Chains A and B, each alone.
Chain A
Amino acid sequence: MTRRAIFVVAILFLGLASTSLRAEYGDVILNRYSDLAKVRPVIFPHWFHRIRFRCKVCHHELGFEMRAGANDMKMMDITEGKFCGMCHDNKTAWGVENCNLCHSGKPGLKSGIRGGHQTLGPGRW
């Protein structure tokens, strides 16, 4: 009986562990300044954007570096039309006044790329 209880607990634990941090593959969390500014971190979903734009639009034309964390952007840059602000201008996509649509992450999240598989060194596999 105790064996079965342990078994059930182990399965529950596994289930929780597998669902607790399963962001969609390629989601990027941007939290360099958000927590400090008392707003939610930004979640950038690659899947949503690549249905509508090819990689080259942001990573070539708009100048986004391809390494997560290599783009140091502040809200002022975006308001001035740089980075996300190139399209998020109320013409191509929603404008910067819709804070909660981008700033939608749980407070305290660590910046970086999320998803089912990660390339952060063999230790993470």
Chain B
Amino acid sequence: MAQKFEVSEWANFSDEEPEMSWNCRWGILVLVFIIGGCEADHQNVGAQQPVAKTAPSRPPIPVARPAPPRSAWLRLQADGIHDVDNPALRLLQQPEEALSKLPRAAEGNNVDWVAALRSGVIIPRTNVFPETKIKVLDRDVIMEKTAGMPMVRFPHRPHTEWLDCKNCHDRIFKAKRGANAVTMRAILQGEFCGQCHGAVSFPLTQCSRCHSVPRPSRVRPGTEPTK
């Protein structure tokens, strides 16, 4: 059952002194290595310069060719989870073959799935049972209590194009405005929006895709977007 968090807990959460994670420590260590490597390079260049003056007939420096573009998708044989000893592995479709033809995004599968559906590049089936009713709701919900962040616009339309009402109501969200104490803390732990966002739908690092409605009062004079 979803754990309930009060809105006030979000404030406590953000006020906490963040403890340095191991990822962060690794990052600092690697940065130190990189800076160390750069310093070593500078020393070497300084040492070689006098030699270059006395020997002007150096072989021409080969022009660096741009590296071939790295694919956004790993081959199944290289993704770390597929067993390369499986004789049937070559029969499976490679992600790149299917996903490279779809509208691109910078995160997740590197695919903008909503755009892919809307543009008609993919036409996924809506039902397997003929009697299933297909319901699509075109109604936006604005969530205002977002502290210092822009407000959240939840569009029902792209969600109901993929999902059924019952996937969220009332299992994850009560179908009543103001009845759901949604917090970022809960979402980051995989509740509410976090049941899908961060697992299969676009990840939670894409803040502005949800926090997309600027607060009028927060716009400072002279900084309004020109239109």
Contacts and interface: CB of A to CB of B under 8 A. Distances in A.
Given A52-B124, A55-B162, A23 B91 contact: no
A118 interface: yes
A47 B163 contact: no
Interface stretch (B50-58, B60-68, B193-201): B193-201
B79 A24 contact: yes
B78 A19 contact: yes
Contacts of A107: 83
Contact of A121 (B33, B82, B189): B189
A106 interface: yes
Contacts of A25: 108-109, 200, 203
A54 B161 CA distance: 8
Interface residues of A, number: 61
Interface in B133-190: 161-164, 166-167, 187-190
A39 B132 CA distance: 36
B189 A43 contact: no
Interface of A: 1, 3-4, 6-7, 10, 14, 19-27, 29, 40, 43, 45-48, 50-57, 59-62, 66-68, 86-87, 92, 98, 100-101, 104-107, 109, 113-123, 125
19 contacts: A3-B37, A3-B40, A10-B34, A24-B73, A24-B95, A47-B98, A51-B98, A57-B126, A101-B92, A104-B83, A114-B81, A116-B203, A117-B108, A117-B198, A117-B204, A118-B199, A121-B188, A121-B189, A123-B21
